């Protein structure tokens, strides 16, 4: 057993290239995950409903200043159609993700959430639309959403400042996460691994923050450069280090729902399977209409942009079974 209350133990695991230690770490992460979730892998249907964004995060392909991004918004009816498709396939969780798009003010956003909730009352609705006011979060909750994803991106102030414009702050991000949790959302935090200027110490701080927040969900993926961003010339995050961070997140928050992210699947053909092996227990296949997929280009070479919802669904089912896990289509609430 690794003593993850000790920073030197954590730092060693963050940076190790020892295969035996890594295998031991993954085995312990799998044990933890098994204790709460058995061999189940939960499915979330992802709907990327707008790529407009008022923010200008330096790593992100849908940042405001990217004039090459072709922008789109889905209508309520288009979004409902994605849910209907997902529902027929058996999904019981829908994730509405988008940039920070002012068009979706509280009225428009809650109308969409309420419509999904009315049509699919047994399904969990997850929202991921960035930083908003507490009142806005309360309205979203009241409209029928139960979960909110907001990656903190990095828990170090100075590092946060190198990845974001001065109009954004880590303190506000953290404040949002604590507020979301307080008002009753199941919350998801998370970060990129190998983002520009990141140090092992920064990753340690990410783990400390996870321990402090104790979120229900944790999203971790490698940084992948996007050609139309200021950080385009930086190297992508390492597969191995990302997997170790997934495992460490599992040890720090044993009951967390942790996705095997699309970004991991993008940097390695078996990245998502490897993440499951390192303690992840969720996948988020895409339900967005195929004609918009490519436009939601947060980073380069994103996978699954040409596949119909049903194809992604079948592909993930098969991959999960082949890797020895059990696809599970229930709502998959945190243990």
Binding site for ligand 5AD (CB under 6 A): 59-60, 151, 153, 192, 221, 223-224, 226, 263, 298-299
Q: Which does 311 bind (CB under 5 to 8 A by kind): ligand 5AD, ligand FES, none?
A: ligand FES
- State the CB neighbour count (10 A cutoff) for residue 174: 18
Q: Which does 315 bind (CB under 5 to 8 A by kind): ligand 5AD, ligand FES, none?
A: ligand FES
Backbone angles phi, psi at 251, to 5 degrees: -70, -35
Q: Which does 316 bind (CB under 5 to 8 A by kind): ligand 5AD, ligand FES, none?
A: ligand FES
Q: How far is the CB of 190 from ligand 5AD (least distance, A)?
A: 7
Q: How far apart are CA 183 and CA 127, in angstroms?
A: 15
266, 302 Cβ separation under 8 angstroms? yes
Q: How far is the CB of 32 from ligand FES (least distance, A)?
A: 25
Q: How far apart are CA 33 and CA 254, in angstroms?
A: 7
Task: Using only the alpha carbons of the chain, give its radius of gyration.
Answer: 18
CA atoms within 13 A on the CB side of 287: 29
Q: How far is the CB of 233 from ligand 5AD (least distance, A)?
A: 12
Owner of token pair 């979060």:
137
Nearest CB to ligand FES, comparing residues 31 and 307: 307
Nearest CB to ligand FES, comparing residues 16 and 305: 305
Q: Which does 151 bind (CB under 5 to 8 A by kind): ligand 5AD, ligand FES, none?
A: ligand 5AD
Beta bridge partners of 284: none
Q: Check residue 254 and report its DSSP letter.
A: T
Question: Among 170, 159, 257, 177, which residue's Cα sits nearest to residue 213?
Answer: 177
Q: How far is the CB of 283 from ligand FES (least distance, A)?
A: 8
Q: How far is the CB of 311 from ligand FES (least distance, A)?
A: 6
Nearest CB to ligand FES, comparing residues 138 and 307: 307
Judged by DSSP in three states, 252 sits in helix
Nearest CB to ligand FES, comparing residues 46 and 189: 46
Contacts with ligand FES by CB under 6 A lie at 285, 304, 307, 311-312, 315-316
């Amino acid at each position: 057993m690794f003593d993850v209350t000790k920073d030197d133990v954590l730092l060693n695991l963050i940076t190790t290239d020892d295969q035996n230690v890594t295998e031991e770490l993954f085995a312990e992460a799998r044990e933890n995950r098994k204790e709460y979730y058995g061999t189940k892998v939960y499915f979330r249907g992802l709907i990327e409903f707008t790529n407009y964004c008022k923010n200008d995060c330096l790593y992100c392909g849908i940042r405001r200043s990217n004039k090459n991004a072709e922008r789109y918004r889905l209508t309520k009816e288009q979004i409902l159609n994605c849910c209907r498709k997902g529902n027929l396939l058996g999904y019981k969780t829908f994730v509405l993700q988008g940039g920070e798009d002012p068009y979706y003010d509280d009225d428009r956003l809650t109308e969409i959430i309420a419509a999904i909730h009315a049509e699919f009352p047994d399904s969990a609705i997850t929202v991921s639309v960035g930083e908003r006011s507490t009142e806005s979060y309360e309205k979203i909750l009241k409209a029928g959403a139960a979960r909110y994803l907001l990656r903190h991106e990095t828990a170090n102030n100075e590092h946060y400042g190198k990845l974001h414009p001065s109009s954004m702050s880590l303190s506000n991000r953290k404040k949002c996460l604590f507020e979301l949790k307080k008002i009753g959302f199941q919350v998801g935090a998370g970060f990129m691994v190998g983002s520009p200027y990141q140090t092992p110490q920064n990753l340690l701080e990410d783990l400390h923050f996870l321990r402090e927040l104790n979120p229900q969900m944790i999203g971790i993926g490698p940084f992948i450069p996007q050609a139309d961003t200021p950080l385009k010339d930086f190297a992508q995050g390492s597969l191995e280090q990302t997997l170790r961070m997934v495992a460490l997140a599992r040890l720090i928050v044993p009951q967390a729902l942790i996705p095997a992210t699309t970004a991991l699947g993008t940097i390695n053909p078996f990245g998502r399977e490897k993440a499951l092996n390192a303690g992840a227990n969720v996948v988020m296949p895409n339900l967005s209409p195929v004609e918009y997929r490519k436009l939601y280009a947060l980073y380069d070479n994103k996978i699954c942009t040409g596949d119909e919802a049903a194809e992604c669904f079948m592909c993930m089912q098969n991959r999960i079974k082949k890797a020895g896990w059990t696809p599970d289509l229930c709502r998959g609430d945190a243990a």
